[in-house]
Amino acid sequence: MAEQKTQEHRGKAQASGASSIVRVAGRDVDGSLNMERALSKVKGLGMNLSHTLALVIESKLGIPKATSVGSLNESQIAQIEELIKDPVSAGVPTYLINRNKDAETGRNLHMVSNDLIFNTRQDISRDIANKTWRGYRHQYGQKVRGQATRSTGRTGVTVGVTKKSVQAAQKTAAKGGAPVKGGEKGKK
């Protein structure tokens, strides 16, 4: 049932001259999606920022939010990509930007797709080189943001914790002694 609806929807989009796959900011996006949903598919644009950008695109470029991305021409897509690269200049609030006060430039930037991945790796390697606490945690594969590590985040063969009394019972059973029932002390 749902597959029939999507096929009918795609058929309508292709019949109206819309393309099925559109390249937006380095990401292939389904052309039948509306503006807001298509923008959220780009790495680095969440739901809040894509909603805000859809509103900005509607007000500045005159393209309605409900428009499918496949029906846009190349110049409109280029204008949308310019807004994605510099959303602050279009009036998007800075709390939606993913790099406030960049370490190298000091400007509010927004990174998407491969730029975001590259800059995140650079930040981690800078922390490791500067020997910060975050860098140390990254280097040794530990949790970085202060989470508890007593019971979670284990790697390797460590599966669970056994009590000392159970461990003692297992040792005596391995040596050939009488097994202690349930690992409790004093009971046989």
List all residues 6 or more positions away from 183 whose beta carbon is below 8 Å from its beta carbon. 163, 165, 166, 168, 169, 170
- Per-residue pLDDT, 160: 65
Average pLDDT of the residues in 79-89: 90
Q: Say if residues 98 and 123 touch (Cβ distance below 8 Å).
A: no
Asked if residue 169 has pLDDT above 80, the reply is yes
**What architecture is the 6-93 domain classified under in CATH?**
Orthogonal Bundle (1.10)
Domain ranges of the chain: 6-93
Half-sphere exposure of 84 (CA within 13 A, CB side): 29
List all residues 6 or more positions away from 138 whose beta carbon is below 8 Å from its beta carbon. 124, 127, 128, 144
Tokens of 160: 């669970």
- Per-residue pLDDT, 131: 93
List all residues 6 or more positions away from 45 whose beta carbon is below 8 Å from its beta carbon. 25, 39, 53, 84, 112
- Per-residue pLDDT, 161: 65
Q: Say if residues 122 and 94 touch (Cβ distance below 8 Å).
A: no
> What share of the chain in percent tops pLDDT 70?
81
Tokens of 84: 């994605």
| Alpha carbons 57 and 55: distance in angstroms, whole number | 5
List all residues 6 or more positions away from 73 whose beta carbon is below 8 Å from its beta carbon. none
List all residues 6 or more positions away from 48 whose beta carbon is below 8 Å from its beta carbon. 96
Q: Say if residues 179 and 188 touch (Cβ distance below 8 Å).
A: no
- Per-residue pLDDT, 108: 84
